[in-house]
Structure 1
């Protein structure tokens, strides 16, 4: 594969031996990898380079992975990232989800597992949310939903959206006033229905409820043990 066609991975890992193994394995499997040993160095570099995905260790000196991810998201909201950690704490996983992580991998793990997960994330994020046969602007209650500019507008207030938020709104709006099973939403938008994706969806649904709160005729109602309904009255 030509160098310019390779996906560029930002790898941030302070363990020299482990980082070296990951870098070599990712390069062997077709990725272009730039590796940094601490979060500060990575953050200083990311502004001057183009990356397709970030692989971030959580426990690092100078700047931990969570703080680094927060800063990266401010600069590049659409850039996907994955956390690596030796900690199995549920609180850490939930924190990673709330930051918008695309995956959370607990050490030790096989290098080919990381490669497969990166492949799936890049395949998903590289798929354009907006197709040519979908109108770029549509009305949802009192809101204007712009699928090309990734914006939700209410009066003069504009809410910028991520691609994942846009895809989720499109799916819910397409099936408005229907009770949807969680598994159906997860498989359509996240492409799987595992625990991690389910918690991620919960975070996204909470965001959408805030985005649509100005229109009392729009609600996202949960049916315990069944799913969700995007109601427009």
Structure 2
């Protein structure tokens, strides 16, 4: 079985070394970076399955690094490590597209389980066949993570792709929030629900050029993708 390739961005040198060593023993190949600059350089030279980002970094915080990662490597999942417990920090991290958020101090085995769960969901959320779906004036290629309009192609994240595919499979019908959260996040809790709302907002913006497309929120139920009025 191929090793999981993980980018760990942690400025605490002792924690970084200990965690890297433990993850390596568990079959996870780790590249350790102490800050934003080092992390971006490592990303240019290597391919990773997932990134684990400390929120508190010396040059800039992990949120800024996450924005860079999401822009340049939209298919790569990531999670945050943090000693801060403010709800606002958790919501900010999830709104940036984080797949999970784990508080320090944490158990290394718990981190490994969360990584494995994220990768399992990430792999299962992308279809293997080359289906092309028509959504109004757009064409949607889930397997390529692409939404196309005429000569323009938009590269989606895996979460955006998963949500849109679930909606596009049932046009005009309600897709429940719980179903989306269970399939793409693994559980339907408050923080994941807030993250889902952020992604729905992003998808709505992508479809603004076609007035016939609407993603309707049905209070207490879920979402409906309308492709004509």
Alignment partner of 1:35 out of 32, 35, 39: 32
The C-alpha deviation readout for 1:58-89, integer Å capped at 9, x for no partner, is: 11112321122222223212111111011111
The C-alpha deviation readout for 1:150-201, integer Å capped at 9, x for no partner, is: 2222334332222222221111111221223211221233332122321221
Shift >6 Å, 4+ stretches: none
Q: Does 1:164 align with 2:159?
A: yes
Three-state SS of the structure 2 residue aligned to 1:77 is coil
Name the counterpart of 1:146.
141
Three-state SS of the structure 1 residue aligned to 2:209 is coil
Distance in 2, matches of 1:141 and 1:68, equals: 35
Name the counterpart of 1:93.
90
The C-alpha deviation readout for 1:83-104, integer Å capped at 9, x for no partner, is: 1011111221222122211111
Name the counterpart of 2:187.
192
Name the counterpart of 2:68.
71
Three-state SS of the structure 1 residue aligned to 2:93 is helix
Alignment partner of 1:215 out of 210, 214, 222: 210
The C-alpha deviation readout for 1:37-71, integer Å capped at 9, x for no partner, is: 22222222221112111111111112321122222
Aligned pairs, number: 228
Distance in 1, matches of 2:125 and 2:197, equals: 23
Deviation, 1:128, is 6.0
Q: TM-score, normalised on structure 2?
A: 0.90
Name the counterpart of 1:125.
122
Name the counterpart of 2:42.
45
Q: TM-score, normalised on structure 1?
A: 0.89
Question: What runs of 5+ residues in structure 2 fail to find an aligned partner?
Answer: none
Three-state SS of the structure 2 residue aligned to 1:215 is coil
Question: What's the RMSD between the two structures over aligned residues?
Answer: 1.9
Distance in 2, matches of 1:204 and 1:57, equals: 23
